[in-house]
């Protein structure tokens, strides 16, 4: 394997880790404001 190929693989891994970290952060972050849900029990509105 050439040195350029190793650099490409390492760069791709860094991009994947950064993307996963951002995705996990967005999933954990709770939005402020009002939460509106429509379910089998009807409409639910909660203030956060």
Angle value at C-alpha 28, between 24 and 32, nearest 5 degrees: 140
Write down the pLDDT at residue 11.
Answer: 97
Pick the more confident residue, 37 or 17: 17
Do residues 13 and 21 make contact, with C-beta atoms less than 8 angstroms apart?
Answer: no
Q: What mean pLDDT value characterizes the chain? A: 88
Q: How confident is the model at residue 16 (pLDDT cuts 50, 70, 90)?
A: very high
Q: Once rounded to an integer, what is the mean pLDDT over residues 18-34?
A: 85
> Which residues form the domain of 24?
3-47
- Model pLDDT, residue 47: 77
Q: Average of pLDDT values for 17-36?
A: 86
**Phi and psi at residue 18, in whole multiples of 5°?**
-65, -40
- Cβ atoms of 34 and 48 within 8 Å: the answer is yes
Give how many domains the chain has, as a whole number.
1
Half-sphere exposure for 11 (CA within 13 Å, toward CB): 6
């Amino acid at each position: 394997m050439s040195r350029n190929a190793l650099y490409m693989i390492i760069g791709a891994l860094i991009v994947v880790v950064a993307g996963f970290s951002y995705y996990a952060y967005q999933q954990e972050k709770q939005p402020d404001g009002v939460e509106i849900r429509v379910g089998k029990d009807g409409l639910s509105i909660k203030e956060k």
